[in-house]
Amino acid sequence: MATFEGKPTMSIKALPGNFYEFTIEYTMNYTGLELIHGEFEDVLRLMEEDDGSDHLYGTVQPTTFRPARSPETRVFRFIRSAESLDTEWGGEEIYAAVGHRRNKPGEAFQVRNTEVHPLAV
């Protein structure tokens, strides 16, 4: 069964025009049979940690792929305006949730979160 190698990571870079780029990376280990016959799907959500319920900033729609190697690292990027991120006074606490699963009906996603990153916008 495919397994996460460690925690996904996220880096944040300020861009011109009051935008931010979020780069999320995660690595999966696959078995030999999964490399030959496996088709997988992943999805990412950029989130803001709140007391009670977290705020969704954006989603990368599910992507279907066949891994070429094991381990395999996948990289995704979100670009968001500072205005769209500013949901509370005193800054934001941003993290990404990564979901990965075998591309089969009814298969559940394995989900891992990045560390939470404070961001003053």
What is the b/e burial string over 68-86, where b = at least 16 CB atoms within 10 angstroms of the residue's CB? eebebebebebebebeebe
Provide the CATH number for the domain around residue 35. Answer: 2.60.40.10
Binned at pLDDT 50, 70 and 90, residue 9 comes out as very high
- H runs (alpha helix) in 1-121: 32-37, 82-85
Give me the number of domains the chain comprises: 1
Domain hosting 21: range is 3-119
Rounded CA-CA distance 32/43 in Å is: 23
CB atoms within 10 A of CB 32: 9
pLDDT tens-digit series, residues 42-72: 999 999 888 778 888 888 888 999 999 999 9
CA dihedral 40, 44, 50, 55 (to 10 degrees): -120
Q: Record the pTM.
A: 0.89
